[in-house]
Structure 1
Amino acid sequence: MNALADFLQAYWPHLTALLSLAFSLAVAAQAAMHKNDVRAAIAWVGVILMSPFVGALLYLVAGINRIRRDQMSTQRSLLIKDYVDSAHPTFGDVGPISAPQFASLRVLCDQVGRFPLQDGNHITLLDSGDQAYPAMLHAIDEADHCIALQSYIFDHDRIGLRFVDALKRAQARGVEIRVLIDAIGARYSRPPILRLLERNSIRTDRFMTNPLGLRTVYANLRSHRKILFIDGHLGFTGGMNIRESFMASLTGRRADIDTHFRIEGPLATQLFAVFANDWEFATKERLQIEDWVRVTPRAPAPQVPARCIRSGPDRFIAATHRVLLGALAVAQHHVRIQSPYFLPDQILIGALNTAARRGIQVDIVIPGRNNLRLVNYAMTAQLAQVIEAGCRVWRCHKNFDHSKLLTIDDAWSYVGSSNMDPRSLRLNFELDMEIYDRPLAEQIAQRIDADIERSKPVTLESLKALPYLKQLRNRIIWLASPYL
């Protein structure tokens, strides 16, 4: 025993180094075998080998996509079809109602999105909280059967309390209610609104937690989806969380801006499909379709074909990324993008630049004032890459705009919760809609054009005019952009 103790005392540094090397090599091999992006593989292998123990532990916590290999993920992708309203047939040729070039995009989205493209939808654009929240609260007050609510952030503030009061009234009427809030987003306000919901016996849960707290293996993953589904046929989705900062009537001239959508028709059932699978993943409770979805009443005119596109670090990873690439490839005249966090990867930058070099007018609107300073620095560092190819970038000098909008050729729109940044495109669970409707596309285009009129163009000269230390700061922050 003494001999062993003496040996360990004499050689423990060597043994520790060997153990660290073996551990690091094993973890580095796992990263090299399972990372499909060569840049991510190189980065992780470098971190693992250059930071003994710490780098390997960091990879085991944040680098392995366990969700993608989780059996529940496979079950969810199979069960999702059970929730789609079969009373509405798949829509046919999109060319006559949008433009001929979108026929190939529709084929792509058939494979990527998995949901069928369905007609019979009525979609209304809601501008910020002063339009969206009253419409949502009214729908909750009119509910007589069921309510499913999902949000990334649900703040404990004046507008959050209005939603709680409306849900309490609905529950008193006997309405079945489920509320799902992301575990990270639930921490944005104190005390968390979940405690108040739970005290009122409203069925509530967090996404990505267990009874002991945050799941460390999922610490970098979030549900960024925003869903409200009511009485089997009415839905709301878009980019807006539940927080009073989007209400000008509450916060005055400082109010943030966002865009949400009211949906009637089979698209609302697709919203419920996404919610039901997320709820089952978080709680293990399966919501029965026959208890939640009713025969969809005929939506008012106009009735447009649309579908949900869900993406996330599961079987639907990179779905939005592929849709964006396909959409930019078929553009013929004009691409308009509005994004609060514009940090596309090199593949998307290449697609944007290719579109601009084909003679397509590409307008990108970003906030003049951003709520995330580090993201703004990283965005600024990258803008030259698209401006050099002919894309036009505009900083809109109004209140912070959180909208995520894309429209192409005034005929096709892609809207929802996804930002054009690495987190949304690879890590977050997101929900968007592709919509084949000229009037709505023109409405979104007019909204973006109105912002361009109050914007200042970002030019190569203005970027080069920044002080050197600011340029260096921006580039250093940009290096960390995949983790912002």
Structure 2
Amino acid sequence: MEDATTLIVAVTSAVAAAAGPIAAGHALLTKREPQVAGAWIAVCLVFPLAGAVIYYVFGINRVRTRARKLVAEERIPPSAGPSTELHSPTISPEYAEQVRISDAVTGRKLETGNRLQVLHNGEQAYPAMLNAIDAAERTVFLSSYIFENNASGRQFIRALAAAYKRGVDVRVLIDGVGELYSWPRASTLLKRSQVPVARFLPPRIIPPQLSINLRNHRKMLIIDGRLAFTGGMNIGDRHLVQSQRQHRVADMHFSFDGPVARQIEEVFLEDWEFTTGISDYPPSHALRHTDGALCRVISDGPNEDLDRLVMTLIGALSAAREEVWLVSPYFLPMRSLVTALEAAALRGVTVRVLLPEQNNLPFVHWATRHMLGELIHWGVKVYYQPPPFAHTKLFVVDRRYAQVGSANLDPRSLRLNFELNAEIYNRPLAQQLAADCERICARSRSITEAELNQRRALERVRDAIFWLTSPYL
């Protein structure tokens, strides 16, 4: 018995001794950010067995290899670079620099003839989306990170079920973690109505699903390949800001009527194939309007080798000459973006960042406060918006260029989540969004270095600790 116990102890010790260095070596070879690699290496070497197990569950990207088999990776042309000419429309000189960058990075064509509409909160977005579902003739494709089963969610379930019953090709994709915000799950209710629904990387024990840290954060509704809705809004009562709910969320959504809807549909179908293994691409029926805007979709996620969103944002910041508006609920930008924001401010560009005063994730708010001082010091103006919680994501440059969509400016969005943004080359729309930012700014309060320096010692330590863990928030 003693010999058996000794053998078990020896084997366990050997496994523990080997597991830590092996996991640390994997992190060294596969992680792109030195801070992230260094943190994982330290955890694996200090706690060899536990650290290796944690790294195996949360640290390994199991999506990239599988996703390379899909068309998402094939979309980038081998010759993509500064000289690549993907855009067919005539481009105004003021857009030439940004278009060249986005052409090379996204591999997608810049589409003309898109009519856009800005939809504020659930009061405007949900009726427009439900009406579109009711009017669908061929296809309804819906993807949401959170799909609640409350009154708003059940309205969508009824509309989707009715469309399916009248013969429309309806497909619903819900993130496997995001759907856990309510019970019973929306996917369960949809299945009861026989609506085709899939769950994106749902956590499970048997068979084990070890990609729980990689989430589909995209919000997409595509009708007949011609009309699409996207932005930052999930489906649920929380987005009804005129309600009496305690935890209300202010947000913006956008409708795209035109050829860019097909690009959004392609992203949905790539995600659908990734989740279900089913590959079919219906023909597009989008109408190109003569009075529409230039638009293009930027998709990003852990399956991509290139930081598409980051590079397009940095490119736009480098081209900014007058002003930049940046609105985000979670603001923990990587070093390259921080430098680009500071450089723009030092060039004389007015850079304004609008953040929520009360965040639904306090630890993100604390981490952000640790790094705001540097931005403010170099001329970036930072403001806190009053409640309700502001979930809006906007990026507007010189009132001529804008990005809207699902991506936050934090490591989770820019490294771990599957995200979708749309870039818009259109002065009237960019001017409208800049005016919205001005209205938000007018009721917000400015953050100063003095305020940050007056934080108590314990607050500084708390903020610094959460900032240190920001790659994992």
Normalization by structure 2: what TM-score?
Answer: 0.93
Amino acid at match of 2:135: E
1:369 to 349, 353, 358: 358
Structure-2 separation of matches of 1:314 and 1:446: 36
Alpha carbons of structure 1 residues 31 and 383: separation in structure 2 relative to 1, 3 Å: same
Establish whether residue 128 from structure 1 lines up as the match of residue 121 from structure 2: yes
- Conservation of the 8 A alpha-carbon contact between 1:309 and 1:432: yes
Offset of 1:12 from its aligned partner? 5.7
Offset of 1:441 from its aligned partner? 0.7
C-alpha deviations, 1:372-408, integer Å up to 9, x for none?
Answer: 1111111112211211111000001142111100000
Aligned partner of 1:65 in structure 2 is 61
Aligned partner of 1:34 in structure 2 is 30
Structure-1 separation of matches of 2:325 and 2:315: 15
Aligned partner of 1:181 in structure 2 is 174
Structure-2 separation of matches of 1:401 and 1:346: 24
- Conservation of the 8 A alpha-carbon contact between 1:80 and 1:277: no
Aligned partner of 2:375 in structure 1 is 386
Structure-2 separation of matches of 1:225 and 1:178: 15
- Conservation of the 8 A alpha-carbon contact between 1:357 and 1:389: yes
Structure-2 separation of matches of 1:265 and 1:227: 15
Structure-1 separation of matches of 2:198 and 2:146: 13
Structure-2 separation of matches of 1:26 and 1:246: 46
- Conservation of the 8 A alpha-carbon contact between 2:21 and 2:48: no
Aligned partner of 1:256 in structure 2 is 249
Aligned partner of 2:298 in structure 1 is 309
Offset of 1:256 from its aligned partner? 1.9
Establish whether residue 153 from structure 1 lines up as the match of residue 146 from structure 2: yes
Structure-2 separation of matches of 1:124 and 1:91: 24
Alignment of 1:285-296 (within 5 A): 285-290=278-283, 293-294=284-285, 296=286
Establish whether residue 91 from structure 1 lines up as the match of residue 88 from structure 2: yes
Aligned partner of 1:52 in structure 2 is 48
Aligned partner of 1:408 in structure 2 is 397
Structure-2 separation of matches of 1:316 and 1:413: 24
Aligned partner of 2:317 in structure 1 is 328
- Conservation of the 8 A alpha-carbon contact between 2:110 and 2:295: yes
- Conservation of the 8 A alpha-carbon contact between 1:244 and 1:251: no
- Please identify, of 35-44 and 303-312, the stretch whose mean Cα deviation from structure 2 is larger: 35-44
Offset of 1:466 from its aligned partner? 2.0
Alpha carbons of structure 1 residues 244 and 55: separation in structure 2 relative to 1, 3 Å: same
Offset of 1:13 from its aligned partner? 4.9
Q: SS in structure 2 opposite 1:362?
A: strand
Alpha carbons of structure 1 residues 248 and 397: separation in structure 2 relative to 1, 3 Å: closer
Amino acid at match of 1:226: K
Alignment of 1:471-482 (within 5 A): 471-482=460-471
Alpha carbons of structure 1 residues 414 and 445: separation in structure 2 relative to 1, 3 Å: same
Structure-2 separation of matches of 1:167 and 1:6: 65
Structure-1 separation of matches of 2:180 and 2:9: 42
C-alpha deviations, 1:77-101, integer Å up to 9, x for none?
Answer: 26669xxxxxxx94334325xx2xx
Structure-2 separation of matches of 1:214 and 1:249: 43
Offset of 1:161 from its aligned partner? 0.6
Structure-2 separation of matches of 1:239 and 1:278: 18
Structure-1 separation of matches of 2:379 and 2:458: 27
Aligned partner of 1:242 in structure 2 is 235
Aligned partner of 1:84 in structure 2 is none
Amino acid at match of 1:302: D
Structure-2 separation of matches of 1:328 and 1:234: 30
- Conservation of the 8 A alpha-carbon contact between 1:126 and 1:260: yes
Establish whether residue 171 from structure 1 lines up as the match of residue 164 from structure 2: yes
Q: SS in structure 2 opposite 1:289?
A: coil
Alpha carbons of structure 1 residues 159 and 383: separation in structure 2 relative to 1, 3 Å: same
Q: SS in structure 1 opposite 2:389?
A: coil
Q: SS in structure 2 opposite 1:363?
A: strand
Amino acid at match of 2:222: F
Instruction: Please give the root-mean-square deviation of Cα atoms over the aligned residues, in Å.
Output: 2.0
Amino acid at match of 1:77: A
Q: SS in structure 1 opposite 2:329?
A: coil
Structure-2 separation of matches of 1:457 and 1:113: 35
Amino acid at match of 1:41: A
Aligned length: 464
Structure-2 separation of matches of 1:475 and 1:264: 45
Aligned partner of 2:79 in structure 1 is none
Q: SS in structure 2 opposite 1:216?
A: coil
- Please identify, of 417-426 and 351-360, the stretch whose mean Cα deviation from structure 2 is larger: 351-360
1:441 to 411, 422, 430: 430
Aligned partner of 1:354 in structure 2 is 343
TM superposition outliers: structure 1 runs of 4+ over 4 Å = 5-15, 78-81, 210-215
Amino acid at match of 1:384: G
2:197 to 175, 196, 204: 204
Aligned partner of 2:72 in structure 1 is 77
Structure-2 separation of matches of 1:248 and 1:34: 43
Amino acid at match of 1:189: S
- Conservation of the 8 A alpha-carbon contact between 2:177 and 2:203: no
